[in-house]
Amino acid sequence: GQQLNQSPQSMFIQEGEDVSMNCTSSSIFNTWLWYKQDPGEGPVLLIALYKAGELTSNGRLTAQFGITRKDSFLNISASIPSDVGIYFCAGQHLQGANNLFFGTGTRLTVIP
């Protein structure tokens, strides 16, 4: 299967700090997605990216589709306690294609 590596694997930050995480792939994707998973729940879609170089925001979250099409980045500004969870990147080779390849996840802990 496709290898999507996320870094860092885990982060401990103070409330109010900004967060950056990234995802790299061994192959090119045409769509990048970012999900968040809360304990005991399924992943929830945060942001979808469709074009190389695209920068998209959703509230305090900003994600970018890397120019090489092999990477993507997620930033969270002014973190709050409810940002705690696991963040996954996911890639698709074709827009609408069924097979989503997921990264290994970044576990975020926010210290109040």
Partner 1 sequence: NAGVTQTPKFQVLKTGQSMTLQCAQDMNHEYMSWYRQDPGMGLRLIHYSVGAGITDQGEVPNGYNVSRSTTEDFPLRLLSAAPSQTSVYFCASRSGTGDGYTFGSGTRLTVV
Q: Which is nearer to partner 1, 50 or 109 (CB)?
A: 50
Q: Are the CB atoms for 15 and 102 separated by under 8 Å?
A: no
Q: How far is the CB of 90 from partner 1 (least distance, A)?
A: 8
Q: Which is nearer to partner 1, 73 or 88 (CB)?
A: 88
**Residues at the site binding partner 1, with contacts judged by CB under 8 A:** 1, 4, 31, 33, 40-45, 48, 50, 88, 90, 92, 95-96, 98-100, 102-105
List C-alpha distances in Å: 78 to 3, 7, 13, 53, 57: 31, 20, 11, 24, 14
Tokens of 89: 């990147």
